[in-house]
Each structure stands twice: as structure tokens, then as C-alpha cells.
Amino acid sequence: MSGYGRTSQSNSCTPSGVISTRCGARGGARGRELWIIGIDSKKRELVDVCGTIDPKLFDAKIRRKYADTDAGFMADAHLPLGITDVKADAFLLNVVHFGKAEDFLYPLMVHELAHYLDQIDEDPAASDKDKNNAAAMLIAMAPNVRNHPSHNHRWAQHLAVGARRLVTDGRGGHKTIKEFVEAAIPAYDRRPGWDISIKQGMTDGTS
């Protein structure tokens, strides 16, 4: 079952769902805490956005694990950090994006949520049209981006499903799936001058 558009503990693709209602979230279907972590590029460090991570643990294991990026979702984030006394998934968002408009945040966050759903082996339940759109996304990506193992068919199908559902529901400020996807996979990650051949923009088939 795909998690797009829901506000339960398992998954949510909205900024408010991931940042606001997730602060302090514990447990859930995966039995993991959900850490909301800000990336501070100026200070070159990570920030516990919700203040729910044990301060000693955060200072010792997390704060200095800096990587300058826009956002990320990691299942079982405790494992690469060598943390054994707590299990957690982590959503990271650069602090420069806090407060930005939904037409920027929704595609970015759905892109990363699709990675998370792929990491936990969740079936995207993609329709044939979703699969076609996912294939079009992968073809349009620059080779160095496409060749990353995380940009696989299941990830792309999760992204296609999320884009379709949000556009159909009128959420996120994009009128078509094509607009949403081109925001989720920006021009610098695509082949030069390449147009993503999305055929199903909304439920009526427009692009």
C-alpha cells in the first residue's frame, strides 16, 4: 500500500505532515522513531528540528555527520551511525528551504519520500500509466544521476504515483503531472534540453 497523501505515522508527503505533525513521532508500523533533521549549510552541521533526539546521542553521533544537500530520507538511519539503543528513520531538509512555497517543497519531498518507500521495499502499486511516466523520468535523467543505484524503477514509480495523486487532489500548486515531475527532477538533473515525456497530466489525460 502506497503512503502518498496520508497523514498516518507510516508515511506522509506533505510538508506539514513531515515537519509539523511528525515532531515527537514515535513507534508506528515500522517500530522506528522518525527524526526530523535540518541541514545547516552555513554552520556545516545538522540540527534536531523537533528537539526529540537525545541531546547526548545527537551531539556524539549525528550533529557533525554533515552533507550539503537539499533533502534526504533514510530508512534505518541508526545503522550507519552505529547507534544500537534506538531505531530510527530520518528525514533531512536543508534549513534554507524551511518556509518555502508548496510548489517547491511538495516535489522535493515526494522525490525523497519515494526513495524512502523504495528503501523499505514498499510496493508502489503503480498503474500502467504510472509505469510509463516513471520510465519517461528515468530516460530524461542525466547519465550520472540515472546511474545512481537509488534512482531505480521502483523509486521512479513511487514518484510517479505521488505526483499523480497530488496533482489529481489539487495539492502542491502544480496543474499537471509533467509540471510536478519537472519540479521533482529539476533541469540540472536531466539531460541537457531533454523534455520529460509525461503523457498523463491529470485524470483526463492532458499533459
- The three state secondary structure string of the chain is CCCCCCCCCCCCCCHHHHHHCCCCCCCCCCCCEEEEEEEECCCCEEEECCCCCCHHHHHHHHCCCCCCCCEEEECCCCCCCCCCCCCEEEEEEEHHHCCCCHHHHHHHHHHHHHHHHHHCCCCCCCCHHHHHHHHHHHHHECHHHHCCCCCCHHHHHHHHHHHHHHHHCCCCCCCCHHHHHHHHCCHHHECCCCCCCCCCCCCCCCC
pLDDT of residue 103: 92
pLDDT band with cut points at 50, 70 and 90 for residue 8:
very low
Average pLDDT value over all residues in the chain: 83
The residue ranking higher by pLDDT, 5 or 84, is: 84
pLDDT of residue 23: 56
Q: What is the pLDDT of residues 94-104, one digit of tens each?
A: 999 998 999 99
**Average pLDDT rounded to a whole number, residues 32-40:** 91
CA angle in degrees (0–180, nearest 5) for 124-146-35: 55
pLDDT band with cut points at 50, 70 and 90 for residue 6:
very low
The percent of residues in the chain predicted with pLDDT above 90, rounded, is 56
The residue ranking higher by pLDDT, 193 or 2, is: 193
Q: What is the pLDDT of residues 170-196, one digit of tens each?
A: 988 899 999 999 999 989 999 998 878
The domain spans of the chain are 15-97, 102-189
The residue ranking higher by pLDDT, 199 or 138, is: 138
Q: What is the pLDDT of residues 104-162, one digit of tens each?
A: 999 999 999 999 999 999 999 999 999 999 999 999 999 999 999 999 999 999 999 99
